[in-house]
């Protein structure tokens, strides 16, 4: 049935009302209610006869069929493929418009991790007595509970899409990311490579009415202030008038924020793709005109490709030097973009490509690593000298006196590590994995030969060989080794240190697990031909270890680095997708090729193996 809106009431982003001329009231979030004009005719679907219709009691849409309520929501499965293309693990997620107060609190929490946040405190809260406080989490009030008033940096026109885990471990966050869509900015000028500024560049490529009338509170405020001082009620009325005028065919992605622990798993690009669907289906933010185009202005797009992975193309730099990227939602927009890339001299050169990977290929090993009939034994003498009397008596009671211990860790071992391959050493603690790594690093065997071709070697054997953390900030330290900040960011992203705020941290400010990942980054920054890692991911939780292992496996293969890593964790073994598993135990070593198994089944450790070995 058709109904007419008599008035709207917006209290908070998550709570508002539409008062209908027939006397009924619709309860819905303020972020949706604010976009309905007084006097507007809508289509209401409900079976309820109640005078007040709550969230679950109705459907609401514009007369052209654009859905207003229930809000956008989509369940998605996000598989994470390994190097072979096989899904190693997957996320079960829901993307939906923020609608609860707790959603916006989670947004405020996540906002602390945004690359371009200019605020030490990212949210404003209002106490029951009217006092407004700036804080990142709910602050205490003299009496009662503070309510989230606004997220700093957003505007009254902003809409928020959140990404939540529908299946998660107990310690994982519920909401792992959000994206904010705004109307287009009022003006945009272009700076050419020669420094020349081209004014109103969008209107030269696309129709002017795609970007106007937009949300321009600054201009409206200046006009209003010329007429006199604004009271709070006048401010609200002014904002409502500006919102009512907005009717564009473009939307702007103003924020994409993913929890730092999940950034290396493609959730940023996934969020962007979902936002495109949101804009296409719901015509957000104002839900009035069909959306032809979604744009973003993102300096970080120079250093991270997730916008381009979601199908965005680089257009130009703004007058202030920030890159603008766009994604067409309609055939008309695609045609206009194609014409721009064909006719504009600068765009014809870059063809929409902004991000360029910089780490590249390393100088690889010139041949395979080989252990030929290798023998390695360790001996030690145990006696009771220097022990307290009570301890000596206990040991004597068990027959422990002076004893010489000799153990053959490796006996006649033959194994090959091909250049550019990923190999995992698998075995129980004390089986000889670390000994094998020491031999590959240069420790001489008792007998036999270790053939190690020329090439730079980097190693992390905890407690024995560790890269110096130093005192410099994380990004600075990796950058100094590589001499290229984009390459440094590539490395940090691949080892699971994707939080730009963390890049400023000093080693002493890192957790144990973060230090482990920082050490891996420092090793990769040496651009080694051979990387040796003992007890890989020993200090990481299951989910993080899996993400880091997957990222490292892909990175070393792309760069041509030979990786030999020791682990005893099945999830790490599977995520590394090794070319071979080298089983170590009781003096023998045998290698099992995994390449034929990768595309058809999970990699699992076996009790015994076939291949090269000895007894």
Q: What is the pLDDT of residue 224?
A: 64
- Categorise residue 273: left if φ over 0, alpha if ψ from -120 to 50, beta otherwise: alpha
Domain harbouring 339, CATH code: 3.40.630.30
In the sheet with 403-417, reading across from the earlier edge strand, the strands are 403-417, 369-382, 447-451
Q: What is the pLDDT of residue 610?
A: 32
Q: Cβ contacts of residue 591 below 8 Å, gap of 6+? A: 415, 416, 423, 580, 581, 582, 583, 609, 611, 612, 613
Domain harbouring 419, CATH code: 3.40.50.300
Q: Which of 230-239, 430-439, 557-566 has the lowest mean pLDDT?
A: 230-239
Q: What is the pLDDT of residue 135?
A: 87
Same domain, 449 and 575: yes
Q: Cβ contacts of residue 236 below 8 Å, gap of 6+? A: none
**What confidence tens digit (pLDDT) does each residue in 258-293 have?**
998 888 889 999 999 999 999 999 999 999 999 999
**CA distances (Å), 563 to each of 231, 424, 453, 457, 493, in order?**
66, 8, 14, 10, 18
Same domain, 38 and 58: yes
State both tokens at 341. Answer: 């890339």
In 188-227, alpha helices (H): 202-205, 217-226
What pTM, to 2 d.p., does this model score? 0.86
When pLDDT is cut at 50, 70 and 90, the band that residue 147 belongs to is: very high
491 found inside a domain: yes
Q: Which of 53, 70, 87 is the last residue of a domain?
A: 70
Percent pLDDT > 90 in the chain is: 73
Query: How much is the CA Rg of the chain, to the nearest whole Å?
Result: 30
Same domain, 573 and 443: yes
d(CA 428, CA 286): 60
36 found inside a domain: yes
Average pLDDT, the chain: 90
205 found inside a domain: yes
Cβ pair 8, 34 in contact under 8 A = yes
Same domain, 54 and 104: no
How many helices and strands (H and E) does the chain possess? Answer: 16, 29
Per-residue pLDDT, averaged over 176-201, amounts to 97
396 found inside a domain: no
Above 70 in pLDDT, residue 307?
yes
Strand 580-585 and strand 422-426: pairing?
parallel
- Residue 332: DSSP 8-state: H
Above 60 in pLDDT, residue 564?
yes
Hey, is 45 helix, strand or coil? strand
Domain harbouring 24, CATH code: 2.40.50
d(CA 78, CA 265): 9
Q: What residue numbers bound the domain in which 108 lies? A: 75-212+248-350
Same domain, 90 and 112: yes
- How many distinct structural domains can be found in the chain? 3
137 found inside a domain: yes
Cβ pair 201, 188 in contact under 8 A = yes
Q: What is the pLDDT of residue 254?
A: 96
Higher pLDDT, 264 or 418: 418
d(CA 197, CA 189): 7
Per-residue pLDDT, averaged over 357-365, amounts to 95
- Categorise residue 352: left if φ over 0, alpha if ψ from -120 to 50, beta otherwise: left
- How many Cα atoms occupy the beta-carbon half-sphere of 603 within 13 Å? 31
Same domain, 333 and 427: no
d(CA 79, CA 91): 6
Above 60 in pLDDT, residue 345?
yes
Per-residue pLDDT, averaged over 533-557, amounts to 93
Please report, to the nearest 10 degrees, the dihedral formed by the alpha carbons of residues 424, 554, 501, 168 taken in order: -70
Per-residue pLDDT, averaged over 377-403, amounts to 79
Q: Which of 42, 70, 98 is the last residue of a domain?
A: 70
Same domain, 531 and 484: yes
When pLDDT is cut at 50, 70 and 90, the band that residue 387 belongs to is: confident
Same domain, 99 and 163: yes
Q: What is the pLDDT of residue 609?
A: 36
Same domain, 527 and 423: yes
Q: What is the pLDDT of residue 614?
A: 35
Above 70 in pLDDT, residue 384?
yes
Q: Which of 30, 49, 70 is the last residue of a domain?
A: 70
**What confidence tens digit (pLDDT) does each residue in 362-380 have?**
999 999 999 999 998 876 6
Per-residue pLDDT, averaged over 164-179, amounts to 94
Q: What is the pLDDT of residue 382?
A: 73
- How many Cα atoms occupy the beta-carbon half-sphere of 97 within 13 Å? 24
Higher pLDDT, 278 or 501: 278
Same domain, 149 and 13: no
Same domain, 533 and 474: yes
Same domain, 34 and 128: no
Looking at the DSSP bridge assignments, the partners of residue 8 are 18
243 found inside a domain: no
Report DSSP letters for 227-255, one per residue.
T-PPPHHHHHHHHHHHHHH---SEEEEEE
388 found inside a domain: no
Q: What is the pLDDT of residue 226?
A: 62
262 found inside a domain: yes
Q: What is the pLDDT of residue 219?
A: 79
Please report, to the nearest 10 degrees, the dihedral formed by the alpha carbons of residues 41, 42, 46, 48 taken in order: -40
């Amino acid at each position: 049935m058709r109904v007419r809106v008599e008035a709207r009431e917006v209290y908070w982003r998550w709570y508002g009302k539409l008062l209908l001329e027939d006397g009924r009231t619709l309860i819905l979030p303020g972020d949706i209610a604010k976009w309905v004009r007084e006097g507007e005719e809508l289509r209401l679907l409900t079976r309820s006869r109640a005078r007040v219709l709550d969230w679950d009691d109705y459907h609401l849409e514009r007369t052209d069929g654009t859905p207003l309520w229930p809000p956008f929501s989509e369940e998605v499965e996000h598989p994470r493929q390994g190097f072979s293309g096989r899904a190693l693990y997957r996320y079960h997620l829901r993307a939906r418009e923020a609608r609860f107060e707790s959603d916006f609190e989670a947004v405020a929490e996540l906002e602390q991790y945004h690359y371009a946040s200019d605020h030490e405190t990212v949210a404003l809260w209002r106490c029951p007595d009217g006092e407004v406080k700036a804080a990142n989490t709910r602050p205490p009030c003299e009496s009662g509970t503070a309510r989230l008033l606004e997220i700093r940096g957003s505007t009254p026109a902003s809409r928020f899409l959140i990404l939540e885990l529908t299946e998660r471990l107990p310690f994982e966050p519920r909401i792992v990311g959000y994206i904010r869509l705004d109307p287009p900015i009022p003006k945009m000028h272009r700076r050419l490579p020669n420094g020349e500024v081209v004014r109103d560049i969008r209107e030269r490529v696309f129709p002017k009415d795609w970007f106007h009338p937009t949300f321009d509170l600054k201009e409206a405020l200046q006009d209003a202030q010329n007429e006199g001082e604004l009271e709070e009620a006048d401010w609200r009325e002014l904002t409502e008038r500006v919102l009512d005028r907005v009717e564009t065919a473009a939307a702007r992605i103003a924020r994409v924020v993913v929890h730092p622990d999940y950034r290396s798993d493609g959730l940023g690009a996934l969020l962007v793709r979902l936002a495109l669907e949101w804009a296409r289906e719901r015509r957000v933010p104002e839900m009035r005109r069909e959306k032809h185009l979604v744009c973003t202005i993102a300096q970080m797009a120079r250093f991270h490709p997730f916008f381009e992975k979601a199908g965005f193309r680089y257009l130009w730099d703004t007058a202030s030097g920030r890159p603008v990227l766009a994604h067409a939602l309609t055939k008309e927009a695609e045609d206009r973009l194609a014409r721009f890339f064909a006719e504009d001299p600068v765009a014809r050169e870059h063809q929409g490509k902004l991000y360029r990977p910089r780490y590249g290929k390393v100088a690889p090993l010139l041949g395979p690593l080989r252990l030929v009939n290798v023998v390695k034994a360790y001996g030690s003498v145990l006696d009771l000298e220097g022990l307290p009397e009570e301890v000596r008596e206990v040991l004597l009671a068990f027959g422990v006196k002076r004893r010489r211990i000799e153990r053959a860790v490796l006996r006649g071992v033959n194994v090959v590590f091909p250049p550019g391959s990923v190999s995992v050493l698998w075995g129980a603690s004390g089986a000889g994995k670390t000994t094998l790594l020491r031999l590959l690093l240069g420790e001489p065997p008792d007998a036999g030969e270790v053939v190690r071709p020329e090439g730079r070697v980097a190693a992390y054997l905890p407690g024995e060989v560790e890269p110096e953390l130093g005192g410099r900030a994380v990004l600075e330290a990796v950058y100094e080794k590589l001499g290229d900040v984009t390459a440094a960011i590539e490395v940090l992203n691949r080892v699971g240190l994707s939080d730009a705020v963390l890049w400023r941290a000093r080693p002493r400010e890192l957790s144990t697990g973060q230090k482990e990942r920082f050490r891996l980054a420092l090793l990769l920054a040496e651009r080694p031909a051979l990387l040796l890692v003992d007890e890989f991911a020993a200090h990481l939780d299951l989910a993080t270890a899996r993400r880091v292992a997957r990222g490292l496996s892909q990175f070393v293969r792309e760069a041509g680095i030979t990786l030999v890593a020791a682990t005893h964790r099945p999830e790490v073994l599977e995520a590394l997708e090794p070319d071979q598993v080298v089983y170590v135990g009781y003096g023998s070593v045998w290698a099992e090729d995994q390449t034929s198994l990768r595309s058809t089944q999970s990699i699992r450790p076996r009790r015994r193996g076939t291949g090269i070995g000895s007894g």
